[in-house]
Structure 1
């Protein structure tokens, strides 16, 4: 039988067949080669109300949201920071499994570690929340891997878009 859509065809597992190794404080942790969709479920709970937060930001009175308006929105939702933190922890637990997650937490990752790791994983996994939520803006690319979606063009998308990008070691910085 020939399939029109073969979801078992070449995927990220080919690039990372044994998972995505992450080094943190001398310990290695193995994240799945592809993010299971249900790992993002903690972001979409009614308790977190992330969509309500995004709605408030997008529907600000004058169309732009200032820092003061974001702070005011947080005061209206005082539980949001703790719930968001919990959602992030739940995502990491879902990715690593209970036992490895306990080991991961035992090396006491900093907030910066979580931010850097999350950014790197988003890049490797190719998760684009703007596309996930169906952002309004449409942009075209001059690269080989995509077709224009509008008459406008941009050169901001690299030809290898969607592939893993090299990033400098966390100790490297550009001052």
Structure 2
């Protein structure tokens, strides 16, 4: 008997949404796949769009990505907004079949509709968009809660139980 370290056959989102993820929009129901196909990222990661390059420039900018810096970067890439919008539409074309996508477009989704739907789908899919553009070294742990960077520095001030007050012998002794 062998044991697997990574079991891709383990419970997947298809178990929770065996018929896909239903989305109501404009009085119709659209069915999105239970899992995001890897190819759905292709439009956003294309060399032509160079979204990764844009975010790289933003991260290394001197002002940390102020509105004026972002505007300046967009002026240096005047085709980026139109290319990004086309890429988003291509992602939705991949997620929905051609017929559903045509029906979806016929409902004339607004930019806020795309934002709300993308945000909602990201939550259902379990994708945190911000984590797609951060390096692995920025986080010391993959769990939902972080461990302290230096256990020695927090040993006295961190309570043992959730909700318990931290021990601070110096401050309690000085009040008497």
Q: Secondary structure at the match of 2:138?
A: coil
Is it true that 1:49 corresponds to 2:46 in the alignment? no
Q: Which runs of 4+ in 1 moved over 6 A?
A: none
Q: Secondary structure at the match of 1:42?
A: coil
Matches within 5 A, 1:147-162: 148-151=145-148
Residues 18-41 of structure 1, C-alpha deviations (whole Å, 9 max, x = no match): 100000011000000011111011
Per the normalisation by structure 2, the TM-score is 0.76
In the alignment, what sits opposite 1:61?
Answer: 62
In the alignment, what sits opposite 1:169?
Answer: none
How many angstroms does 1:2 deviate by? 3.9
**Structure 1 stretches lacking a partner, 5+ long:** 154-175
Aligned CA RMSD, in angstroms, stands at: 2.2
- Does structure 2 retain, via aligned residues, the 8 Å contact 1:43–1:50? yes
How many angstroms does 1:129 deviate by? 3.1
- Does structure 2 retain, via aligned residues, the 8 Å contact 1:140–1:151? no
How many angstroms does 1:71 deviate by? 0.3
Per the normalisation by structure 1, the TM-score is 0.77
Residues matched between the structures, number: 148
Q: Could you say which structure has the higher helix fraction?
A: 2
Rg comparison, structure with higher value: 2
Is it true that 1:37 corresponds to 2:34 in the alignment? no
